[in-house]
Amino acid sequence: MELTFYGHSCFKIVSPQGKKILIDPWVSNPQAPKNVDLGPYDYILITHAHGDHLGDAIKLARTSVTQVIAIHEIQQYLLSKGVPNAIGMNIGGSYRSNGLTFTMVMALHSSSLPDGSYGGEPCGFVITLENGLRVYHAGDTGLFYDMKLIGELYQPEVALIPIGDHYVMGPREAAKACQLIKPKFVIPMHYQTFPILTGTVEEFKAFLSEEDYQPEVIVLRPGESFILK
């Protein structure tokens, strides 16, 4: 698996069989590198409807090559905008395709569409790749104790966790989330995109050092990749 960070909460995953997955497709975010892969992607995952996560989905998913996976209300919005292959689902369910499994799990946040209407519940995703490797993208979320169930049920090797605070968890809460999920690797996200997102990796590592469980922290600058075999 190759995982590339494109800034904010946007990640590209290339699976062992070469399937390309884009999560929270705001590829035009202020942190995005110049060499962003614009696809086509096999799958685009959207955790909630806010513009910094729905992002450039419509532009990137104009052809039927790409399956866009989102909660039902976002799916209906995308279909109304001419996206040809939007898959709607809901929290607790899984969508299986080409040897991959996309499991939608809860997140604590809000969600509204660009027109201000209800965008469904926010979510995270557990992605199970062809070789059984699992990646958990928490989406925008506060800390919640059921993260422990996500860890117990799915045992993700890699967790992508927000640390920015104000709109999402901060470093202290993110460190506690790692105790509940127990991933082997954790990659911080959703920090310092805007001045209000003040959480830092250094703070996160400091809080993590006080906890019993110590995952390996992988810090990616936008455009950098992490490879896990």
> Are 179 and 213 contacting, i.e. CB atoms less than 8 angstroms apart?
yes
Homologous superfamily in CATH for domain 2-227: Ribonuclease Z/Hydroxyacylglutathione hydrolase-like (3.60.15.10)
> Are 183 and 157 contacting, i.e. CB atoms less than 8 angstroms apart?
yes
- Going from N- to C-terminal start, the domains of the chain cover 2-227
pLDDT of residue 229: 83
- In terms of phi and psi (left: phi > 0; alpha: psi -120 to 50; beta: otherwise), the region of 176 is alpha
pLDDT of residue 124: 98
Q: Is the dihedral of CA 151, 20, 24, 105 positive or negative?
A: negative
Interatomic CA distance for residues 66 and 63, integer angstroms: 6
Low-confidence ranges of the chain (pLDDT < 70): none
Rounded-to-10 torsion of CA 139, 144, 148, 154 = -20
pLDDT of residue 64: 84
End-to-end CA separation in angstroms for the chain: 6
pLDDT of residue 33: 96
pLDDT of residue 62: 82
pLDDT of residue 156: 98
> Are 169 and 189 contacting, i.e. CB atoms less than 8 angstroms apart?
no
Phi, psi (degrees; rounded to nearest 5) at 19: -75, 135
pLDDT of residue 63: 80
